[in-house]
């Protein structure tokens, strides 16, 4: 981690004594952090760094980072993959959910800031990373003395990394990409958190297949797996439950080392490093700053409409869109009456139920959301889309007593949930509902 010396942040020197990297990789990392220090002093800000976590927690397999945009959470894992390649430690893999994300424009933009870093670290041997046919290559570009035009002078014929999508994995994975290139130093799974409807079928199973296919029999290499995302949804995703991540790791920003019990035949415990980024310090390590000031300015300039939803705090400040859900207080269970039960039709065409209830102790009304398998005829349900069905109640529809009653209680903010999944489903629905509800 950075050392603070007076008003200057300096970075620790890596050697084979204080980390498990090769001498060549240590030398490259030292040059990299020299460059980082220069850039951060110029910009008067610090970025998130994942490489020191690999040194501090060398036995971890997964490094999960969730936080605001423009914190450096994607840049450094890719830089680590490129520097490992230069050190002869293999190539890196970049994974996205859908193949439509792997356009040439997107993939070239992903490494657009690497040129200056490479130029500094390699002493001018390379100064550009280029994307071609699903792979990244290191290049050196030079300016023609007569015309002054930049042109490629050299390309390393061996790619430093490749990109694949989960939805096309079975058809696009092709031959073993890393077999003749030293294996994979790291695998990056980018934007792994999404909205509920965007996940592919059995996504965690697909991710397991991707990882096992890339690593194959080369387990001893110790491939590091980076999982990166904005804080979109804590619970309605296929990852956290599968990985055994619990709610206490989301309470405060910071680094959490999670070790799981030894399984049969296991020599070392499975370890996950989970980092939640909300804000970072300035270069002097003194003042907490919002990370994404550029996005904040963008929203203020371009989306300041009267009916705008406002900027997403998950993007600008790394704040979760969905907080923990409130469970129904025990005292309500035995002293409440249900006035009306309504149903909500989700964007995925699934239903969940809501009781409009009255707590007899105080006379206050509240809403209780819970799962339901199906709804029967003559049951009212709320929908966001105009549907020509007898019992559909369009969100925002005027002169509807059921909807009006529901809204009256909804605006009291006395909302309770059967589970976090139901709370997340309602949260997604209400984001759309705000287009209609004043």
Q: Tell me, what's the pLDDT at 415?
A: 85
Q: Tell me, what's the pLDDT at 103?
A: 92
Instruction: At 338, list the tokens.
Output: 């249900």
Q: Tell me, what's the pLDDT at 398?
A: 60
Q: Tell me, what's the pLDDT at 200?
A: 87
Q: How far apart are CA 223 and CA 211, in angstroms?
A: 10
Q: Tell me, what's the pLDDT at 295?
A: 39
| Residue found under tokens 């760094």 | 49
Domains, the chain, in order of start with CATH, read: 3-293 (3.40.50), 330-433 (no CATH)
Q: Tell me, what's the pLDDT at 84?
A: 95
Instruction: At 430, list the tokens.
Output: 């209400």
Q: How far apart are CA 22 and CA 44, in angstroms?
A: 32
Cβ contacts of 160 within 8 Å, gap of 6 or more = 81, 82, 85, 86, 91, 92, 129, 136, 137, 138
Alpha helix (H) residue ranges in 250-292: none
Question: DSSP assignment, residue 170?
Answer: H
Q: How far apart are CA 60 and CA 42, in angstroms?
A: 33
| Residue found under tokens 């990109």 | 163
pLDDT profile of the chain (438 residues), mean per 10: 40 82 93 91 81 88 84 90 95 94 91 92 95 94 86 94 91 70 91 79 87 80 89 74 76 82 77 76 40 39 39 44 60 85 78 89 89 79 73 68 83 81 77 62
Q: Tell me, what's the pLDDT at 306?
A: 40
Indicate the pairing of strand 135-143 with strand 128-132: antiparallel
Q: Tell me, what's the pLDDT at 265?
A: 72
Instruction: At 390, list the tokens.
Output: 């007898």
> Could you tell me which of 190, 205, 154 has the C-alpha nearest to residue 75?
190
Q: Tell me, what's the pLDDT at 259?
A: 85
Q: How far apart are CA 74 and CA 83, in angstroms?
A: 15
Q: How far apart are CA 438 and CA 432, in angstroms?
A: 12
Residue 327 has a CB neighbour count (10 Å cut-off) of 13
Q: Tell me, what's the pLDDT at 434?
A: 65
Residue 433 has phi, psi (to 5 degrees) of -60, -30
Alpha helix (H) residue ranges in 305-374: 313-316, 330-333
Q: Where are the beta strands (DSSP E) in 294-391?
A: 336-345, 351-359, 364-371, 381-383
Say what the pTM is: 0.67
């Amino acid at each position: 981690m950075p050392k603070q010396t007076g008003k200057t942040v300096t970075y620790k020197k890596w050697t084979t004594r204080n980390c498990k990297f090769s001498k060549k990789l240590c030398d490259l990392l030292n040059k990299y952090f020299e460059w980082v220090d220069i850039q951060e002093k110029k910009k008067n800000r610090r970025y998130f760094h994942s490489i020191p976590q690999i040194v501090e927690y060398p036995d971890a397999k997964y490094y999960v980072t969730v936080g605001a945009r423009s914190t450096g959470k994607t840049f450094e894992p890719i830089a680590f993959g490129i520097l490992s390649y230069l050190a002869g430690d293999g190539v890196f893999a970049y994974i996205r959910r859908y193949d439509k994300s792997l356009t040439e424009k997107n993939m070239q933009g992903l490494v657009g800031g690497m040129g200056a870093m490479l130029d500094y670290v390699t002493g001018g041997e390379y100064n550009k990373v280029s994307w071609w046919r699903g792979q990244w290559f290191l290049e050196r570009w030079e300016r023609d003395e007569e015309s002054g035009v930049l042109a490629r002078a050299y390309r390393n014929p061996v790619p430093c990394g490749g990109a694949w999508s989960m939805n096309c994995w079975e058809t696009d994975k092709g031959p073993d990409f890393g077999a003749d290139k030293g294996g994979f130093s790291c695998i990056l799974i980018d934007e792994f958190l999404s909205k509920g409807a965007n996940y592919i079928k059995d996504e965690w199973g697909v991710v397991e297949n991707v990882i096992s296919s890339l690593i194959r029999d080369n387990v001893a290499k110790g491939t590091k797996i980076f999982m990166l995302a904005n804080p979109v949804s804590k619970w309605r995703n296929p990852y956290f439950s599968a990985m055994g991540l619990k709610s206490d790791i989301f309470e405060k920003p910071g680094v959490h080392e999670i070790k799981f019990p030894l399984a049969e035949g296991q020599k070392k415990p499975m370890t996950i490093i989970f980092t939640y980024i909300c804000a970072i310090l300035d270069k002097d390590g003194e003042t907490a700053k919002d990370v994404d000031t550029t996005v904040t300015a963008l929203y203020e300039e371009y989306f300041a409409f009267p009916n705008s939803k406002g900027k997403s705090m998950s993007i600008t400040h790394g704040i979760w869109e969905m907080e923990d859900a409130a469970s129904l207080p025990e005292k309500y269970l035995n002293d409440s009456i249900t006035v009306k039960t309504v149903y909500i039709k989700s964007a995925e065409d699934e239903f969940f139920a809501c009781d409009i209830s009255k707590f007899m102790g105080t006379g206050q009304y509240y809403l209780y959301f819970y799962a339901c398998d199906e709804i029967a005829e003559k049951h009212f349900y709320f929908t966001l889309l105009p549907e020509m069905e007898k019992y559909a109640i369009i969100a925002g529809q005027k002169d509807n007593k059921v909807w009006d009653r529901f809204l009256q209680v909804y605006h009291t903010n006395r909302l309770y949930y059967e589970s976090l999944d139901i709370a997340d489903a309602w949260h997604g629905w209400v984001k759309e509902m705000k287009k209609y509800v004043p």
